[in-house]
Structure 1
Amino acid sequence: MTTVDYMSPRVRLIANVATISGRNLHRLVRVPTLIAFATVQPILFVVLFNYTWGGAVHPPGVDRYIDYVLPGIFVLSIAFGASQTGVAVADDLATGMIGRFRALPMARSAVLAGRCAADAIRNLFVVGLMIGVGTLIGFRFHAGPGAAIAAVGLAVAIGLAFSWIFALLGLFVRDPEAAGIGGLLAVIPLIFVSSTFVPVATMPGWLQTFADINPITITVDALRALCLGGPTATHVWQALAWIGVLLVVTIPAATLRYRQTTAT
């Protein structure tokens, strides 16, 4: 008698997700370019944006630009990193790895969930790395340790939503290069037409209209409130609502698309 034979479907799903997550994390460690993308790029973002824009941008109520911009860089780095989720999913389809997973006695949803769970762990590492680098050049949390932990959790949550979005993209395009380009084309305008780097009030009026409802702006404002202090409840609930909507839409859509793709 084996334990596996008597696993409940939920426990088996969790075990499958853990296995796929481990596979993706091992791949991250073994491929030098992936390690560089996960570590060097976030460090460059923190240092370059702070020292190139910090002298020209002076947001009201903030003494140091790094305190203002780092919450935005959290989202920027996580969004850019999440675009690799689509690349990885498309690559698994192109190389036949998805077909091998299909032949195994495992839940189909575990493949995508495991990929996104591994990305969440990577994002936690990336956020911690950026906080460390930011602290060295002057960043400080001003609202206490509880708000700091909440900020890290919110950053990882938006990263999870991005991962599912780009996993869905990878399933549709089925080409790694196209998935990478498509992911960046989607992220770049959303990031730059937001409060990531400058206050929305400094933009032209017609652009402010979009920036104000941009989910990136809402999330960055929530992260900034948790980092700098002040009223946070409205910002955080709005960000969580956006993240919830994105997950409710993309998880079933990606799972359905995966089943359709592997059924052919």
Structure 2
Amino acid sequence: MTTLPETPAGRLRWAVADSRTLTVRALAHWARSPGDVVVGLLFPVMVVLMMGYLFGGQMDVPGGGRYREFIVPGMFAMTMVFGVETTFAAVAGDAAKGVTDRFRSMPTAPSAVIAGRGAADMLHSAAALAVMAVCGLLIGWRAHEGPAKALAGLGLLLLLRFALVWVGVYLGLVAKGPESVVTVQILVWPIGFLSSALVAPGTMPGWLGAIAEWNPMSATVTACRGLFGDPAATGGSWAAQHGVLMAVAWPLLITAVFFPLAARRYRTMGR
């Protein structure tokens, strides 16, 4: 019979070790299905190429600037947001197959299952961001404000993804199965497109532009464009003028709401 640690330090080491094991498990699954990983990484690249080359010549950025440099930070953020589907499918699949219940019956740290999933998805998102950055450089995008601000922008993108991991985990735990991903897409895609990622909110009807400017994804996009020195085309709203602040505040708020919900749902499953 396994003896569980009694001290706080022992419980922390236990949780870290179990989280590392479950992170490696998720990475091993991806290694056995490289095709799915490659498709997931290439999809946003195809969107960038399509928007940049097929439609970019007809798109004007309010305030001036090249549309390709305008769109790349937006696609960075969209990649982070659409990652919710990856998290959801993995968590819902494990729950539907009974894997999550088996973990709960084992002497596994309660936080390790969702922490391991989150760590694996953050590694996947960092890889996706690297691929997108290379693609952006190849089509002419540049970070004009130096490496420090560029890294700060990339950090804000990963902060957004970190917050959305817990949204995906929670939705995956409450879903009936991975086939419910369509429901998640109905939630995620409007958030992605009703934003400043592809077009300036000022070109939208007034009420729609206001919604787009207060979109959490728009906050990250606006902040990254400023940090990268790319065309911004920001509006006059408070949210648009304080992009960096909002790019930090929104992910912290999302994490504060959905991390406890995900942890509680995991603890109460089957009751």
The TM-score, its normalising length taken from structure 1, stands at 0.92
Offset at residue 209 of structure 1 (A): 2.2
Offset at residue 239 of structure 1 (A): 1.0
Kindly provide the CA deviation profile for residues 129-152 of structure 1, in whole angstroms up to 9, marking residues without a partner as x: 111111011010011100111111
Matched to 2:98, the amino acid is: G
Structure 2 CA distance for partners of 1:246 and 1:223, relative to 1, 3 Å:
same
Offset at residue 89 of structure 1 (A): 0.7
Offset at residue 206 of structure 1 (A): 1.9
Match for residue 108 of structure 1?
A: 110
Structure 2 CA distance for partners of 1:78 and 1:229, relative to 1, 3 Å:
closer
Match for residue 132 of structure 2?
A: 130
Corresponding position: 1:243 with 2:244: no
CA contact (8 A) 2:65 2:231 kept: no
Matched to 2:206, the amino acid is: G
Corresponding position: 1:164 with 2:166: yes
Kindly provide the CA deviation profile for residues 5-64 of structure 1, in whole angstroms up to 9, marking residues without a partner as x: 786211221121111111111111211342123322122122112112211212134532
Distance (Å, rounded) in 2 between the aligned partners of 1:238 and 1:230: 19
CA contact (8 A) 1:148 1:227 kept: yes
Match for residue 91 of structure 1?
A: 93
Corresponding position: 1:41 with 2:43: yes
Distance (Å, rounded) in 1 between the aligned partners of 2:54 and 2:106: 51
Match for residue 181 of structure 1?
A: 182
Percent of matched pairs sharing the same residue: 35
For structure 2, which runs of at least 5 residues remain unmatched after alignment? 233-239
CA contact (8 A) 1:219 1:236 kept: yes
CA contact (8 A) 1:83 1:163 kept: no
Match for residue 67 of structure 1?
A: 69
Match for residue 236 of structure 2?
A: none
For structure 1, which runs of at least 5 residues remain unmatched after alignment? none
Corresponding position: 1:254 with 2:262: yes
Distance (Å, rounded) in 2 between the aligned partners of 1:62 and 1:118: 39
Matches within 5 A, 1:139-158: 139-158=141-160
Matched to 2:229, the amino acid is: L
Matched to 1:63, the amino acid is: G
Distance (Å, rounded) in 2 between the aligned partners of 1:204 and 1:234: 22
* Greater CA drift, 206-215 or 34-43: 34-43
CA contact (8 A) 1:143 1:226 kept: yes
Match for residue 219 of structure 2?
A: 218
Give the length in aligned residue pairs: 259
Distance (Å, rounded) in 1 between the aligned partners of 2:175 and 2:231: 43
Match for residue 19 of structure 1?
A: 21
Matched to 2:124, the amino acid is: R
Matched to 2:184, the amino acid is: G
Kindly provide the CA deviation profile for residues 195-225 of structure 1, in whole angstroms up to 9, marking residues without a partner as x: 0101100001121121121111112111111
The TM-score, its normalising length taken from structure 2, stands at 0.89
Structure 2 CA distance for partners of 1:16 and 1:42, relative to 1, 3 Å:
same
Matched to 1:245, the amino acid is: L
Distance (Å, rounded) in 2 between the aligned partners of 1:240 and 1:73: 19
Aligned residues: CA RMSD: 2.1
